[in-house]
A = this chain, B = another copy of it.
Amino acid sequence: MEKIQELQEIFLKEGLRYTKQRETIWQEINSSTEHRDAEDIYFTLKTRGVATSRATVYRTIEVLVRNNLVRALNIGDGRYRYENKLDQTHHDHLVCTECGKIIEFLNENVEQQQEQVARDHGFTLVRHIHQLFGVCEECQKN
């Protein structure tokens, strides 16, 4: 994967060393399109025989998020989920309160209105959190 070049450059730029652990954590997060928590990533690595400590998982994710290689998602249940940003454009989330399913959406209209709201209040917009909670089609049947 040529993206590893970019990863190495990020660490270089930050004055950090390029280690096996850091690369492995990045690969694990990029191995799926799911929204996984740190504990899940930690245990999966352990199972796959390339264990790193919890501390290193958290520390590495911090760097990846800071450099926009990974996105952190807070759905209000007390733990962050992380998702890969390879080929991913910006989107927000629709969360099923019954089964936990997460669906991604993008609404240009909303994106524009957000800029407008910020402008109206003299704010320079940096980021936003927009999450819709409801019951998905399947869960409605139960």
Contact = CB atoms under 8 A, between A and B. Distances in A.
Nearest to A117: B105
A132 B117 contact: yes
Contacts of A121: 94, 103, 105, 136-137
A113 interface: yes
A118 B134 contact: yes
Nearest to A97: B126
Contacts of A114: 110, 132
Contact of A94 (B76, B103, B117, B140): B117
Q: How many copies make up the complex?
A: 2
Contacts of A132: 114, 117-118, 123, 125, 128
Q: Which interface residue of A76, A94, A109 has the most chain B CB atoms within 10 A?
A: A94
A133 interface: yes
A129 B131 contact: yes
